[in-house]
Amino acid sequence: MSLEGFFSDIDSQVGIVLSSDFNIQVVDTDYVPNFDDSEITYDNLDEKTKKCKRLESCVLYIDMRDSTKR
């Protein structure tokens, strides 16, 4: 495959993922999913679908060594 053909193929695949008819299924969750979770998938370019999870979380940072003090 030529370099021009390679770039053309990439443009085509990016266009599929960014198209408005790509179906993204979002499932809300209360826990961090693992790698084996079937509700998370890579982009399926043939069926134009992707499954993902949304997690609302908060992070608390504690400065244990007082590094922010002067």
The alpha-carbon radius of gyration of the chain (Å, integer) is 20
Does residue 16 fall inside a structural domain? Answer: yes
pLDDT at position 11 is 92
**For residue 61, is it within any domain?**
no
pLDDT tens digit sequence for 5-43: 999 999 988 887 777 787 888 999 998 888 888 888 887
Q: Which tokens go with 46? A: 């043939």
**Domain presence at residue 50:** yes
The parent domain of residue 17 ranges over 3-55
68 within a domain of the structure (yes/no): no
pLDDT of residue 18: 79
Instruction: Output the DSSP codes for 5-26.
Output: HHHHHHHHHHHHHHSTT-EEEE
Greater confidence (11 vs 67) lies with 11
pLDDT at 70 over 70: no
Question: H-helix or E-strand containing 30?
Answer: none
| pLDDT of 54 | 92
Is 51 inside a domain boundary?
yes
Give the C-alpha distances (Å, rounded to integers) separating 67 from 51, 60, 63, 64.
41, 16, 7, 8
Domain count, the chain: 1
